[in-house]
């Protein structure tokens, strides 16, 4: 998708899980009882309210059910949300509708009902293909359950992706290579492969503060990253984003909406929205606590806790931080159109330094000159961004 072509997405956040994974910093909550009818009414009300914030709501190109664990949602709740979304916005031709799912046998059994409700793409949170690593990550499924769920998902859906985490303690290049080769043999069209990061306010963070070693050494993780890129490229899965690999035409359209700084609305506890309005970039953040969000929606018809009108520099920073994650990079001229001359939002000296040092490059892409990271630059992306963004 060209960056000049605007896409529009809807994100639906289901905040509940059976258990909290120790590495997870997403807005997820363990709850034995959920009032599904109240949450359905709240989500539909918030969707209507957010649609009213847009100048002219376009048709939806993508919908993404994330969490939490959206595979714990009743299929009729998903169907109700999809029906209301189509009624309010309309659907673009070949809309992508994704749900994340855990590959436990109970949740995998719901995949057929999700397809009947309108879902056409599944992202399975497999995370590891080794029993010890699954236990370390706090996952509830076994390796066999994960492979069975994957086989079922591929029987039901044309679009299937899986998530795996690497960079774990004692994870050797040999073991990770074996995992990747196993995945390649499956012939998947999309993979999300993330290295383990210790995030604040997680169980792993508390354990790390106590002195536990929870990730592999930096040089080993860097080698795993380079190995991953090489094996995926050889298999025909391009690294179209720092941690995402796909065959041509199978990129996740919804995530591209984020990375290309297009427009999306977020429904549910902790969801975020970003959209252009009269030449301004609007950012909305919902209340994170499910109970508080629900009570607020029932009173106000939305759970928005914070609203920000981005400054030109803030908008430029968003486009740089998101766009430089992509192999195709970002069109600096497009940012100038929205945010003013580039000398106000990018450090020209640092930019030249990183180009000269081989971490950034200018590419001709779809008749545009774009700034992109090199493979070395993607490995050091956070420090490169900290240098060049004013």
Contact by Cβ (8 Å): 196, 161: no
The residues, any chain, with a CB within 8 Å of residue 299's CB and separated by 6 or more, are: none
Using alpha carbons, select from 101, 104, 54 the residue that is nearest to residue 78. Answer: 101
**What's the pLDDT band for 3 if we cut at 50, 70, 90?**
very low
Task: Please give the structure tokens belonging to residue 301.
Answer: 């018809």
The residues, any chain, with a CB within 8 Å of residue 7's CB and separated by 6 or more, are: 1, 61, 62, 253, 256, 257, 260, 262, 263
Chain segment 68-100, per-residue pLDDT in tens: 999 999 999 999 999 999 999 999 999 999 999
Model-level pTM greater than 0.85? Answer: yes
Whole-number Å distance between alpha carbons of 52 and 26: 27
Chain segment 247-277, per-residue pLDDT in tens: 999 999 999 999 999 999 999 999 999 999 8
Peptide bond into 68 cis (omega under 30): yes
Whole-number Å distance between alpha carbons of 354 and 268: 40
- Measured CA to CA in angstroms, residue 13 lies from 84, 101, 183, 283, 287 at distances of 16, 13, 28, 17, 12
**What's the pLDDT band for 282 if we cut at 50, 70, 90?**
very high
Contact by Cβ (8 Å): 345, 335: yes
Chain segment 137-168, per-residue pLDDT in tens: 999 999 999 999 999 999 999 999 999 999 99
Domains and CATH numbers, the chain: 8-257 (3.20.20.70), 327-390 (no CATH)
With b for 16 or more beta-carbon neighbours within 10 A and e for fewer, the 168-180 pattern comes to: beebeeebbeebb
């Amino acid at each position: 998708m060209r960056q000049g072509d605007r896409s529009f997405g809807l994100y639906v956040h289901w905040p509940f899980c059976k258990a909290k994974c120790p590495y997870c910093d997403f807005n997820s909550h363990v709850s034995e009882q959920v009032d599904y009818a109240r949450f359905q009414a709240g989500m539909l009300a918030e969707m209507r309210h957010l649609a009213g914030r847009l100048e002219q709501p376009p048709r939806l190109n993508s919908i993404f059910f994330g969490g939490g664990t959206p595979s714990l949602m009743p299929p009729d709740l998903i169907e109700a949300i999809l029906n209301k979304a189509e009624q309010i916005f309309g659907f673009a031709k070949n809309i992508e509708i994704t749900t994340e799912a855990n590959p436990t046998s109970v949740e995998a059994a719901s995949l057929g009902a999700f397809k009947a409700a309108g879902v056409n793409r599944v992202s399975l949170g497999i995370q590891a293909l080794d029993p010890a690593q699954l236990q370390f990550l706090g996952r509830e499924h076994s390796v066999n359950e994960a492979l069975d769920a994957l086989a079922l998902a591929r029987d039901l859906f044309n679009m299937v992706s899986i998530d795996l985490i690497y960079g774990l303690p004692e994870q050797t290049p040999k073991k990770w290579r074996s995992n990747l080769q196993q995945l390649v043999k499956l012939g998947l069209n999309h993979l999300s492969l993330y290295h383990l990061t210790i995030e604040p306010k997680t169980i792993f963070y508390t354990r790390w503060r106590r002195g536990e070693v929870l990730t592999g050494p930096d040089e080993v993780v860097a080698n795993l990253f380079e190995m991953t890129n090489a094996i995926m490229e050889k298999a025909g899965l391009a690294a179209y984003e720092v941690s995402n690999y796909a065959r041509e035409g199978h990129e996740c359209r919804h995530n591209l909406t984020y990375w290309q700084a297009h427009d999306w609305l977020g429904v549910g506890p902790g969801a975020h929205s970003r959209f252009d309005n009269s030449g301004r970039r609007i950012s909305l953040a919902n209340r994170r606590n499910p109970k508080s969000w629900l009570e607020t929606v029932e009173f106000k018809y939305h759970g928005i806790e914070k609203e920000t009108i981005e400054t030109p520099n803030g908008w430029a920073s968003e486009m740089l931080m998101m766009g430089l994650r992509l192999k195709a990079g970002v069109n600096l001229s497009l940012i100038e159109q929205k945010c003013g001359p580039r000398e106000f939002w990018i450090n020209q000296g640092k930019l030249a330094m990183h180009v000269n040092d081989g971490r950034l490059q200018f590419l001709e892409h779809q008749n545009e000159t774009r700034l992109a990271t090199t493979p070395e630059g993607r490995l050091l992306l956070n420090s490169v961004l900290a240098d060049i963004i004013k």
